[in-house]
């Protein structure tokens, strides 16, 4: 069975708030510089199909979320698979202590001068907001979720908007990479993400997509 679906990408507002004509979405990509890579698909999306959160505030990095609606149907295959939204509920778990996968083509060290070509993955523990907040002097809100980066393994510049997914067999999307500390990604500061469960109503309102379970 081949199923084509209209896909919506969840990313960060700060990645999409100053687009000119639009943005290229890379699907099924491992090496983003290899145009002949098997399974790779690049879809250009016009700015009119990008929805930046209307209350995005750059100064405080508040509501750092946006949606990119793909204008063409996408067929899932061994290279392209969707993540799941968390199930809608009256209350959400914090995910503290669980481990999750963050991924991206961001810088692979603080000495790197550019982002990387090969998609990178890290397996990291979620930390509590109360543990994360003191590191960032008021910037971490209830609508954020943080990872521990002790050991120097973190998200970095260029990873923004990328997914934080649970290892639950459904790749439940719980975060979108938002920010870190300016003086380095290897220094142990928590990595901060937009907390997806805080925006499930907004995502449903803008895209019609929601997970009501089975």
Ligand X SMILES: *[C@@H]1O[C@H](CO)[C@@H](O)[C@H](O)[C@H]1NC(C)=O
Q: What angle do CA 35, 37, 41 make, to 5 degrees?
A: 70
H/E segment holding residue 47: none
**Which parts of 6-47 are beta strand (E)?**
8-11, 22-27, 41-46
Residues 6+ apart with CB under 8 A from 190: 127, 131, 132, 135, 136, 146, 147, 148, 149, 180
Q: How far apart are the first and last CA of the chain?
A: 21
Measured from the CB of residue 96, what is the shortest distance to ligand X in angstroms?
39
**Shortest Å, Cβ 118 to ligand X:** 9
The distance of closest approach from Cβ of residue 108 to ligand X in the complex, given in angstroms and rounded to an integer, is 17
CB nearer ligand X, residue 81 or residue 91: 81
| DSSP bridge pairs for 84 | 172
- What is the closest distance, in whole angstroms, from the C-beta atom of residue 39 to ligand X in the complex? 8
* 3-class DSSP assignment, residue 18: coil
Helix (H) or strand (E) holding 129: helix 129-132
Q: How far apart are CA 105 and CA 66, in angstroms?
A: 19
Give me the catalytic one of 66, 133, 154, 160: 160
Residues in contact with ligand X by CB under 6 A are 31, 34, 36-38
Report which DSSP code applies to 99: E
Q: Which is nearer to ligand X, 24 or 54 (CB)?
A: 24
Residues, the chain: 214
Our CB check for ligand X shows the closer of 16 and 29 to be 29
Residue 40 or 47 having the CB closest to ligand X: 40
Catalytic-role residue among 64, 66, 133, 154: 64
14 in active site: yes
How far apart are CB 40 and ligand X at their closest, in Å? 8
How many C-beta neighbours within 10 Å does residue 113 have?
6
User: Of the two residues 38 and 48, which places its CB atom closer to ligand X in the complex?
Assistant: 38
Q: Which residue numbers are catalytic? A: 14, 64, 160
């Amino acid at each position: 069975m081949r199923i084509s679906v209209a896909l919506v990408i969840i990313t960060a507002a700060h990645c999409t708030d100053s687009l000119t004509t639009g943005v290229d979405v890379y699907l099924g990509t491992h090496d983003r510089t290899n145009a002949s890579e098997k399974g790779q698909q690049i879809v250009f999306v016009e700015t009119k199909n990008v929805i930046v959160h209307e209350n995005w505030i750059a100064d405080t990095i508040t509501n750092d979320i946006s949606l990119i609606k793909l204008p063409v149907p996408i067929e899932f295959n061994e290279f392209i698979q969707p993540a799941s939204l968390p199930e809608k509920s009256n209350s959400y778990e914090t995910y503290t202590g669980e481990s999750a996968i963050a991924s991206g083509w961001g810088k692979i060290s603080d000495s790197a001068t550019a982002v990387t070509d090969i998609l990178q993955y890290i397996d990291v523990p979620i930390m509590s907001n109360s543990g994360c907040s003191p590191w960032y002097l008021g910037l971490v809100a209830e609508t954020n979720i943080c990872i521990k980066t002790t050991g120097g393994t973190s998200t970095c510049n260029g990873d923004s908007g990328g997914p934080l997914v649970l290892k639950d067999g459904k790749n439940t999307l719980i975060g979108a990479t938002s920010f870190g500390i300016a003086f380095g990604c290897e220094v142990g500061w928590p990595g901060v993400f937009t907390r997806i469960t805080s925006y499930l109503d907004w995502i449903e309102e803008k895209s019609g997509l929601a997970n009501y379970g089975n």
